[in-house]
Amino acid sequence: TLDEVFETAVLIQTGKIEKFPIIVMGRKFWEPMYDFVTDSLVAGGTISPEDIDLIHVTDDPDEAISIIVEAQAKRNGGGSSSTASV
């Protein structure tokens, strides 16, 4: 829900939890929220562009897996990795 997305973002922003990608499934539902956050909150300086980069909207489970694998590879000190496994 929106509550969990924003609560997770706040915990990351305040350093309470480690950064990780926030992936939401269902473009039809989530894109209007994402657009609002980008157009209003980022543009108004309420949140940073780096924070919005943590949120990923997709309909594709394979894309979600790729986002997770890439984030894990970066966390482990490398770049993106096509050979990483989930």
Q: Is residue 76 part of a domain?
A: no
Q: Is residue 21 part of a domain?
A: yes
Number of folded domains that form the chain: 1
Q: Is residue 41 part of a domain?
A: yes
Parent domain of 30: 2-60
Q: Is residue 13 part of a domain?
A: yes
Q: Give the tens place of pLDDT for each residue, 64-80.
A: 999 999 999 998 987 65
pLDDT at 1: 79
CA 44-12-50 angle, 5° bins: 45
Question: What would the mean pLDDT of 16-44 be, rounded to a whole number?
Answer: 94
User: In angstroms, what CA-CA distances link 21 with 37, 44, 65?
Assistant: 16, 23, 11
**CA–CA dist 5, 55 (Å, integer):** 8
Q: Give the tens place of pLDDT for each residue, 35-52.
A: 999 999 889 988 888 888
**CA–CA dist 63, 67 (Å, integer):** 6
Q: Is residue 72 part of a domain?
A: no
